[in-house]
Amino acid sequence: MTVPSLTLTSLGGAADAPLVVLGSSLGTSSILWEDVAPALAADYRVLAWDLPGHGASPAASDSFSVADLADAVADTVGEPFLYAGVSLGGAVGLTLALRHPSLVRRAAIVASGAQLGEPSGWHERAAQIRAQSTSSVIVGSAQRWFAPDSIAQRPELSGRLLHALQDADDESYALCCEALAAYDVRPSLGEIRMPVLAVWGQFDAVAPEAKSVEIASGVASGSIVEIADAAHLPPAEQPVATAAALLDFFQEA
């Protein structure tokens, strides 16, 4: 296992403002957050990181774990921050809270869980990507990612997100799948002491309400919020509601 290289992208805010770090989901990039970032940037300095081989981050060739991703974020940011992450980005958020509690002031875990999917399913997807590329999962991803009306309501951004999936490095995507296959922090949730907000989308079949309840009830100080009319990508589907939930949570700090 190796700690991968990650790239940070500035999404606005004053240089002397408190820092918010945003993590994206498997197959997407920091564009997932671009309609939420302006609301956050009014009060915070906003940075987003991309997964290996996604967006601006370099491709990976060696295997890594979710813990390695968390260490990479901590090393790259290097100062205390508020955090929000979607799906795999949310898994990294919980792992950051466990491994780097001195850096993470508060963590919002969006459309994610303390464990996600079945290991066999992740290994099967990794093999599919290596054989057929990320293009082979575009249709299935669109069905998982978006609520019934999301694509029709936001066609331009939805299309860009699906293009980001197509553009993701195949091996890096496969390695992310294998990291998720081994990810399970359920036994350690009680060790997380900072406030945690668990956010789920009303139509999310990947990380439904039960995943957020498990997080919020497992950590020392947890709360939950539902985003209506969203599935697995609330920041893209419902940016106003997502930004409001995050601002309410961060401003309690």
Tens place of pLDDT for every residue, the chain, 253 residues?
688 999 999 999 999 999 999 999 999 999 999 999 999 999 999 999 999 999 999 999 999 999 999 999 999 999 999 999 999 999 999 999 999 999 999 999 999 999 999 999 999 999 999 999 999 999 999 999 999 988 888 899 999 999 999 999 999 999 999 999 999 999 999 999 999 999 999 999 999 999 999 999 999 999 999 999 999 999 999 999 999 999 999 997 6
Q: What is the pLDDT of residue 207?
A: 98
Q: Tell which residue, 190, 196, 192, 193, has the closest CA to residue 250.
A: 196
Q: What is the pLDDT of residue 252?
A: 79
**Amino acid in position 100:** H
DSSP character for 251?
T
Q: Tell which residue, 190, 207, 181, has the closest CA to residue 112.
A: 207
Q: What is the pLDDT of residue 176?
A: 98
- Provide φ and ψ at 113, rounded to 5°: -165, 175
Burial class (CB in 10 A: 0-12, 13-18, 19+), 156: exposed
pTM of the complete model: 0.96
Q: What is the pLDDT of residue 253?
A: 65
Q: What is the pLDDT of residue 2?
A: 82
Q: What is the pLDDT of residue 225?
A: 98
Domains and CATH numbers, the chain: 8-250 (3.40.50.1820)
* Contact partners, residue 32, CB within 8 Å, separation at least 6: 24, 25, 86, 161, 233, 235, 236
